[in-house]
Amino acid sequence: MPIRFLRLAIVWLLLLVSIWVVQPYVTALWLSASAPRTVTPRADLAAAEQATIRLFKEASPSVVHVYARGTPRTSIFSDEQESRVQSGSGIVWDLAGHVITNNHVISGTAEIGVRLTSGEFVAARVVGAAPNYDLAVLQLERPRSALHPIAVGRSADLQVGQSTFAIGNPYGLDQTLTSGIVSALGRKLPSVTAREIKGMIQTDAPINPGNSGGPLLDSAGRLIGVNSAIVSGSGASAGIGFAIPVDIVNRVAAELIRNGRVPLPGLGIVAAKQDEATSLGIDGVIIVRTLPGSPAAQAGIEGATEDGVIRDIITEVNGKPVHSMEELTSVLEDEGIGKPIELSVERAGRTRTVKVTIADVSRLAQR
């Protein structure tokens, strides 16, 4: 009896081993999809998907790729001239061929070209730039393709939580769509000048290098901002992107197209950096110099001496303390060109009141 049981167990063991060895071959023979799979039908796309697809189809023809070549320079390693090429995004603004982009996309360059969604490459020139707002307007030179101006919305009535969509050319990848929400409103971001851009829109829609100058859209496909900057330790999207509000863009673009420049409310002063004032224990705006013919110069405000001795420090505007050039600039922009203001100016421990009228100092700043 034990021998018979042992033989039976061996037979079953051999049978199981055989099945284990043969199983992959049987599976491959009978279950492999050696012919194309049958497509599983699906229902209609979700309403949200359809809306996003429609938004992209309608808005993407208004987004272009901007290329800018820097001034040629001679390499220290060879006698050949080298020139740096930078790229970003742009927005078709009108049927006349004006394109909106960031000033930092085209700043310091000698040649500019734009590739339209049709594939046509068009030369472009700068109509005007507003570094204080990081905006520039380009003019396309005789495009043959049809132009599709962007639909313009408003930024004043935006709310945190609204859906946002960004279209651009991150890392040179044309016509990339990303989405997110309005993360915050009213942010301030420094420009290349001493002025801050106020009212910036913060979004978590992924924005990367190359998105600069491209549109931030609402769920209706309307322009609500121009993507301008990201906050990231690595230089890639970290979910914190900033766009210039369309209400500012609308106003600045019109000024640049009409006059080639944007009026700049100011007093005609050059101030010391905030950290320099802090290191000296000074609370106020240290005047480094005044521009000739400016309201500040006419009011007797003086800059530092050649050997660095500080003369005048602005401490108040219209009776309210100011601690930095950014705060002073904000007051001047809120008041506007042509408005009179009172400054409290400290010199050698004594404070005097000076009346000045805010002027357009954009021409003075170019001297």
Domain boundaries, the chain: 60-140, 163-259, 265-365
Helices (H), the chain: 2-31, 47-59, 103-106, 246-259, 274-279, 295-298, 325-335, 362-365
Closest CA to 187 of 251, 244, 136: 244
Segment 95-137, tens digit of pLDDT:
999 999 999 999 888 899 999 999 999 999 999 999 889 999 9
* CA atoms of 322 and 324, how far apart (whole Å): 6
Mean pLDDT of 208-216: 92
High-pLDDT (> 90) share of the chain, %: 49
Residue 366: pLDDT over 60: no
Write down the pTM of the prediction.
Answer: 0.77
The token duo for 33 is 């999809």
pLDDT of residue 76: 45
Which helix (DSSP H) or strand (DSSP E) does residue 203 occupy?
strand 196-203
CATH H-level superfamily of 60-140: Trypsin-like serine proteases (2.40.10.10)
Domain 163-259 has CATH 2.40.10.10: yes
Q: Which residues are catalytic?
A: 104, 134, 212
| Least confident piece of the model among 22-36, 158-172, 338-352 | 22-36
Alpha carbon distance 349, 311 (integer Å): 10
Q: 60-140 and 163-259: same fold?
A: yes
Query: How many Cβ atoms from other residues are within 10 Å of residue 1's Cβ?
Result: 5
CATH top class, domain 265-365: mainly beta
* Alpha carbon distances (Å) from 99 to 58, 171, 249, 251, 302: 17, 20, 12, 15, 41
Instruction: Give the lowest-confidence range in 80-84, 90-94, 115-119, 338-342.
Output: 80-84
Q: Are 136 and 262 in contact (CB under 8 A)?
A: no
SS (H, E, C) 40-99: CCCCCCCHHHHHHHHHHHHHHHHEEEEEEEECCEECCCCCCEECCEEEEEEEECCCCCEE
- Which residue matches tokens 């006349």? 96
